[in-house]
Structure 1
Amino acid sequence: MPSVDVLDEIFLAVPPATVAAVFADSVVWRRFWPDLRLEVYADRGVEGLRWTVDGALVGTQEVWLEPMLDGTLLHYFLRADPPPGGSVRPGEAQRRQLAAKRVGFALKSRLEAGRPPGHPPPPLA
């Protein structure tokens, strides 16, 4: 079992293609996970991405975008260990869990901006 095993989910009231477009930009990855070096090993298009992880942690990470109701359920997974010869800092798993929540709520705030509660997401441009 990995030293750091994070699972998070958040509903975004936008189509999966809108969320996928955010993650298609590797500059965003560095902003969300600045201490991790990510390399795509599975680009699943509107279903998300899978990466190998190196840097502060070594393992795998995934963003799975599941169509749900009038939007997307964003699933986030991080399964990693410290680099060889390293150790996991106390509280690392909780720190990564909170970081996942910050990423999810930042996306929700940005992508749903201007959408009144209870209304469908805006059409794709």
Structure 2
Amino acid sequence: MSSIQVADQTFIVATPQRVAAAIAPRSRWRRWWPDLTLAVGEDRVEKGIRWTVAGALTGTMEVWLELVMDGVIVHYFLHAEPARIGGSPDRAAPDLAAPDRAAPDLAALNRRRRVEGKVMSFEVKKELEAGRPAGEPPS
């Protein structure tokens, strides 16, 4: 089981194609997750995208787009471990069982990554739902 485990969802009133197009630009990934290097593992187009994650974390991340009624549920998943400290390959991340090393604040790391996922999904939601009156179908 990964130390960093995030699962979240946000409903966006838009087509899967529009949501996928909003998430696809690599320049946005860098803004949403500035300390992570993402490599596309699988681009599922209107169904989402899966990445391998490197940088501050090592693991996998996914945005899965699920068509529901007149919109899309954006499912955000992140499963990762804190990366090596100080970028030095010989200094591994703290071993939680080793009493002489400081353990990372996993609750804070999980919260931070959850917030980053919400920032991403709410930015896309705000952009794609802009000007749409409540209760109206997507444009």
Provide TM-score, normalisation by structure 1.
0.93
Question: How many residues are matched?
Answer: 122
Is 1:100 the equivalent of 2:107? Answer: no
Q: How far does residue 86 in structure 1 lie from its aligned partner after superposition?
A: 2.1
Matches within 5 A, 1:56-95: 56-84=56-84, 85-87=92-94, 89-90=104-105, 91-95=108-112
Determine the structure 2 residue equivalent to 1:47. Answer: 47
Q: Deviations over 1:55-103 (max 9, x none)?
A: 0000000000010100110000000001241247421001111221122
1:64 and 1:48 map into 2 onto residues whose CA distance is 4
Residue identity in the other structure for 2:9 = E
Q: How far does residue 34 in structure 1 lie from its aligned partner after superposition?
A: 0.6
Residue identity in the other structure for 1:104 = S
* Structure 2 unmatched runs, 5+: 85-91, 95-102
Q: How far does residue 106 in structure 1 lie from its aligned partner after superposition?
A: 1.6
Moved over 4 A (4+): none
Residue identity in the other structure for 2:131 = G
SS at match of 1:29: helix
Contact 2:66–2:72 at 8 Å: present in 1 too?
yes
Provide TM-score, normalisation by structure 2.
0.84
Q: Relative to structure 1, is the Cα distance of residues 111 and 89 closer, same or farther in structure 2, using a 3 angstrom cutoff?
A: farther
Moved more, 1-10 or 93-102: 93-102
Determine the structure 1 residue equivalent to 2:97. Answer: none
Q: 2:128 aligns with which of 96, 105, 111?
A: 111
* Structure 1 unmatched runs, 5+: none
Contact 2:32–2:119 at 8 Å: present in 1 too?
no
Q: Deviations over 1:3-56 (max 9, x none)?
A: 100001000000000010012211111111111000001111110100000000
